[in-house]
Structure 1
Amino acid sequence: MRYRNLGGAGVQVSRLALGTMNFGPRTPEDEAHAVMSRALELGVNFFDTADIYGGRIGEGITEQIIGRWLAADPARREQIVLATKVYGPMGRTPNSARLSALHIRRACEASLRRLRTDHLDLFQLHHIDRTTPWEEIWTALELLVAQGKVIYVGSSNFAGWHLARAQEVARRRGSQGLVSEQSVYNLLERSVEREVLPACAEYGIGLLPYSPLQGGLLAGVLRRGDEAGRSTEPKARRQLERHRERIAAYESWCAELGEDPASVGLAWLLHRPGVTAPVVGPRTVGQLEGAMRALRVSLDDTQLKELDAIFPGPGGPAPEAYAW
């Protein structure tokens, strides 16, 4: 396993992060525990979850599953960098969602209980809140840091200007600010290259791509013949039909290279500047072990250009992407 600093922070995380969104809804608890144990054996030390994962509003099912795994062997806690998120609805009352200071504090305390830990290594703002002032958000987060309940703060689903706004307010307050941003990023969806990646580079924020295989569309869906996995969902089916020609060309290209499409898709992200760790979401131990192959796939400049020809990006950073 290789490791890299999380953005400009000193903490080091594995080049692949273990995403846990499937734990509970698609992966039963015993299998989820096996996946986490195997991840630790393979050197994966970056575990990512969210309070809303698990399928039942307000229960934090996935966090509970992770908490019981940690409690079964307390030594595990010090071996991982544990990340969760706040924003989504955890109830049906007005203050059970978003990023008010009230909800941030309550959500942190609830995540700590479910995860059976006394601190969160990375507390991520799961979405931008357009109604709560940044001064209020940072006041709440800085208090949690001062109390030792949170070490680092990250974001998810932020636009480039949201990152700039958050960092400038943090800078005025003498706060460390955000160390990471978790965004959709893969060969099919490269929008972050316009403004999010440049903002991350400017502010020392590490990018954590989620949905690195676009819900399975980049994992060999046509080759398998059954169009399995998330690609059976309506949105993914529409995307498959829209991009079928490119996906077919990609799978053929991977076959000529002698590599699995999923490994190539992850490896491409590992070659991208500014990417700290793609978040993989295996449902089984076998899928986790398969993802590790990406760490051994090396793509040269010619191959990267060939992939750009199949999946053109937005044209580089803004404004050059659309202007002179």
Structure 2
Amino acid sequence: MEYTSLGRTGLSVSRICLGTMNFGPHTDEAAAHALMDTAHQEGLNFFDTANTYGGGDHRGRTEQIIGSWFAQGGGRRERTVLATKLYGNAGAPGRAPWPNEDKLSALNIRRACEASLKRLGTDYIDVYQMHHVDRATPWEEIWQAMEVLVAQGKVLYVGSSNFAGWHIAAAQAAAGRRHFTGLVAEQSLYNLLARTVELEVLPSARYHGLGVIPWSPLQGGLLGGVLRKAGQSGVRSADRARKLTAAQREQLQSYEDLCDKLGHEPGTVALAWLLHQPAVTAPIVGPRTADQLDTALRALDVTLDQETLDRLDEIFPGHRPAPEDYAW
């Protein structure tokens, strides 16, 4: 297993991050426990979750499943770099959130952290991530609340998710004024089909020393061989394939043909491409089964030569950092 530092920290994380969003809604507790055990056996130590995962009336269920796995002992917690998130409504199911039950007020940051620690059955969170930017709460308030959690030992590092490049810059400027570390990582939508972050988010993250943790590396399954699977009577894939535009279908057909030529599964190539991007720390994979996890891990053994990388850029054109990308 390959490991790397998370941004400008001394924290060593696996080059693949285990996403747990499916735990609860699609993967029951026993299967989730087995999947996390397999992840540890394969050397994955970086797990990502959120306080709202579980969905609907089961918000927080995913954290509870992780907590019950930690409770089995055997070094499970000690060997895991745990990232969770706050922002969304984490109030009681079946009602609208009360004030300060969502977003990033100092009160909600405190409450949400305490609730996550309880569900997770741990006394600290390695990376506490803001799931979205809160345009209504001043950075001074956010950082003061995070500083308290760090001082109490309940949070080691703070991260962001779905931030624009200028949000990262503003956050780091405010943290710097307080002599606080600020952000150490950013989670962004990033894959061969979604490359907008190359304009400003990735340059900002690199400038400020943040690790980048791409979510949806297969663009909801489109980069996982959707055309091939649709032809194999996959109901879900067939539905996705029907919704493709002509241009998307042409792109994906060229992509799947290239993957066939390379001798690798499309999903493996998509992950391998992300691992070849210098700004990327660890793509998040959200397997429901051990077989899906195994497919993702194969990406670590795939080396894409420059000719292949150039061909992928032809199929899925990317961006240069701004302002060069905007130049005539």
TM-score normalised by the chain length of structure 2? 0.95
Could you tell me how far apart the structure 1 residues matched to 2:33 and 2:40 are?
Answer: 11
**RMSD value over aligned CA atoms?**
1.6
Tell me if the contact between 2:18 and 2:46 (Cα under 8 Å) persists in the aligned partners.
yes
Tell me if the contact between 2:4 and 2:13 (Cα under 8 Å) persists in the aligned partners.
yes
Tell me if the contact between 1:216 and 1:230 (Cα under 8 Å) persists in the aligned partners.
no
Match of 1:317 in 2: 321
Tell me if the contact between 1:282 and 1:288 (Cα under 8 Å) persists in the aligned partners.
yes
Tell me whether 1:61 sits opposite 2:61 in the alignment.
yes
- How far does residue 238 in structure 1 lie from its aligned partner after superposition? 3.9
1:151 counterpart letter in structure 2: L
- How far does residue 56 in structure 1 lie from its aligned partner after superposition? 2.9
Secondary structure of 1:97's aligned partner: coil
- How far does residue 59 in structure 1 lie from its aligned partner after superposition? 3.7
CA distance 1:237–1:169, change in 2 (3 Å): farther
Match of 1:76 in 2: 76
Aligned-pair identity (%) = 61
Q: Which runs of 5+ in 2 are unaligned?
A: 92-96
Secondary structure of 1:124's aligned partner: strand
Tell me if the contact between 1:216 and 1:229 (Cα under 8 Å) persists in the aligned partners.
no
Match of 2:115 in 1: 110
- How far does residue 94 in structure 1 lie from its aligned partner after superposition? 2.1
- How far does residue 280 in structure 1 lie from its aligned partner after superposition? 0.4
CA distance 1:119–1:227, change in 2 (3 Å): farther
Could you tell me how far apart the structure 1 residues matched to 2:252 and 2:311 are?
Answer: 14
Equivalent of residue 216 in structure 2, options 211, 233, 242: 211
Match of 1:191 in 2: 196
Match of 1:122 in 2: 127
Q: Deviations over 1:133-191 (max 9, x none)?
A: 00000000000000000000000000000000000100110001100000000000000
Match of 1:161 in 2: 166
Tell me whether 1:249 sits opposite 2:257 in the alignment.
no
TM-score normalised by the chain length of structure 1? 0.96
CA distance 1:138–1:227, change in 2 (3 Å): farther
Q: Which runs of 5+ in 1 are unaligned?
A: none
- How far does residue 55 in structure 1 lie from its aligned partner after superposition? 1.2
Could you tell me how far apart the structure 2 residues matched to 1:230 and 1:204 are?
Answer: 39
CA distance 1:299–1:293, change in 2 (3 Å): same
Could you tell me how far apart the structure 2 residues matched to 1:240 and 1:124 are?
Answer: 35
- How far does residue 58 in structure 1 lie from its aligned partner after superposition? 6.7
Q: Deviations over 1:118-143 (max 9, x none)?
A: 00000000001010000000000000
1:44 counterpart letter in structure 2: L
- How far does residue 289 in structure 1 lie from its aligned partner after superposition? 1.1
